[in-house]
Chains A and B, each alone.
Chain A
Amino acid sequence: GQNIDQPTEMTATEGAIVQINCTYQTSGFNGLFWYQQHAGEAPTFLSYNVLDGLEEKGRFSSFLSRSKGYSYLLLKELQMKDSASYLCAVRVFTGGGNKLTFGTGTQLKVEL
């Protein structure tokens, strides 16, 4: 099976930088996603990593180390609107195709 771990909650200050970690144990790894979900809303796509390294997209960056089963999402210049749940999801290839397994999410609270 798959096991994905990420912190349950984090708090950070507006304007600061925060790093949300995700570790996973899985077979058939075929990519890692980060999604953002505001309360009462649907998840929205942030990033996709399949190769080792850092992917940067504006204020958000995502890093992957496949050998360590580790990823992080880096949020810079935090804004109040960044308060949300951040979901790490691993794409796994099974016999029949690919499926996504999500972590339980990290609730980020941005304070003044």
Chain B
Amino acid sequence: KAGVTQTPRYLIKTRGQQVTLSCSPISGHRSVSWYQQTPGQGLQFLFEYFSETQRNKGNFPGRFSGRQFSNSRSEMNVSTLELGDSALYLCASRYRGQLNYEQYFGPGTRLTVT
């Protein structure tokens, strides 16, 4: 079974631009969560999608948004990029019926904002 895939793997953007990141979950997984990872703050929860609906949201500004498609693929968008948005963005998928709530992480997208 193929793992979680994320595209692109690396991205360099300029302040003020916007960016869209993509995540394809493991086949059969309908829950997708997004995280931001930085050296100072660690892993921080952005949002979770299930059945094309946002189920939960972390404490990030409205510049961070996402969506999920009917095939469970998810996208994350950051508008008006700031230098502080430079981070590794991870997505994770899980099968909602799994009792241990195990999430499978993708390799991440490394975003650098200059």
A101 contacts B by Cβ under 8 Å: yes
B101 touches A43 (CB 8 A): no
Closest B residue, CB atoms, query A105: B42
B56 touches A94 (CB 8 A): yes
Interface of B is mostly: strand
Task: Please report the total number of A residues contacting B with Cβ < 8 Å.
Answer: 22
Q: A41-B107, A98-B56, A99-B58 are in contact. Are A48 and B101 (CB under 8 A)?
A: yes
Task: Please report the total number of B residues contacting A with Cβ < 8 Å.
Answer: 23
B63 contacts A by Cβ under 8 Å: no
A96 touches B56 (CB 8 A): yes
Contacts of A42 in B (CB 8 A): 4, 90, 105-108
CB distance from A45 to the nearest CB of B (A): 5
Instruction: Report the separation of the CA atoms of residues A44 and B105 in the bound assembly, to the nearest whole angstrom.
Output: 7
Contacts of B41 in A (CB 8 A): 104
Contacts of A100 in B (CB 8 A): 33, 45, 103
Task: Please give the residue numbers on chain A whose beta carbons come within 8 Å of chain B beta carbons, in ascending order.
Answer: 31, 33, 41-45, 48, 87, 89, 91, 94, 96-105
Task: Please give the residue numbers on chain B whose beta carbons come within 8 Å of chain A beta carbons, in ascending order.
Answer: 4, 33, 35, 41-45, 48, 55-58, 90, 100-108
